[in-house]
Chains A and B, each alone.
Chain A
Amino acid sequence: DTEVTQTPKHLVMGMTNKKSLKCEQHMGHRAMYWYKQKAKKPPELMFVYSYEKLSINESVPSRFSPECPNSSLLNLHLHALQPEDSALYLCASSQVTENSNQPQHFGDGTRLSIL
């Protein structure tokens, strides 16, 4: 079992739906990340939060809206997604250090399918 917990494990939604992905960690990490992973590809970074503040947005479309309510929780709000957004969405966390060298710990992801 991973120390980063993601819910739900699977999600099927229509293009007009609004849904949210949730991520929780209790390792005391103050950096949290969202990644998107397509089949047979490495994870692609979407967002980085450091001390609950958004520090990196990798030019992600506005139909993806991240939120970090506290140091343990990270949400990704989804609205009006497209079929090409179907993928595995991974959450990760790490300690914060000046030179960002700490390893990231991943959850098992939410497998998202857009109809």
Chain B
Amino acid sequence: QKEVEQDPGPLSVPEGAIVSLNCTYSNSAFQYFMWYRQYSRKGPELLMYTYSSGNKEDGRFTAQVDKSSKYISLFIRDSQPSDSATYLCASPRAGGTSYGKLTFGQGTILTVHP
């Protein structure tokens, strides 16, 4: 079992839809969570960074963490064609010899069509 599971999709939605992207994780040591957006032929871009359970909002994006069920989500409101990209969830391992190791989900390919 992968430590972070993410449905690769692809996910296709009409413009204006609410998009829900989800990951589950198995390692209770994971405390911080990130969402990255990666456009084709570009590097991952940090979208959201969360720690505690609950919601964090930034514009059209809301990140949700439920540590009791080990479930993290990213919601995109009023989706736009420019949101078409691969979305990666990730969590860093704690210190010691694992310092700096980000564990990624497989990434979800999202297409928003006009």
Contact = CB atoms under 8 A, between A and B. Distances in A.
Nearest to A91: B43
Interface in B39-85: 41-46, 49, 51
Contacts, number: 76
Contacts of B105: 42
A99 B95 contact: yes
Say whether chain B's binding surface is mostly helix, strand, loop, or mixed: loop
Contacts of A31: 100
B102 A50 contact: no
B103 to A, nearest CB: 9
Interface residues of A, number: 30
Interface residues of B, number: 30
Interface string A29-50: 0010100000011110100101
A98 interface: yes
Contacts of B46: 103-106
A33 B43 contact: no
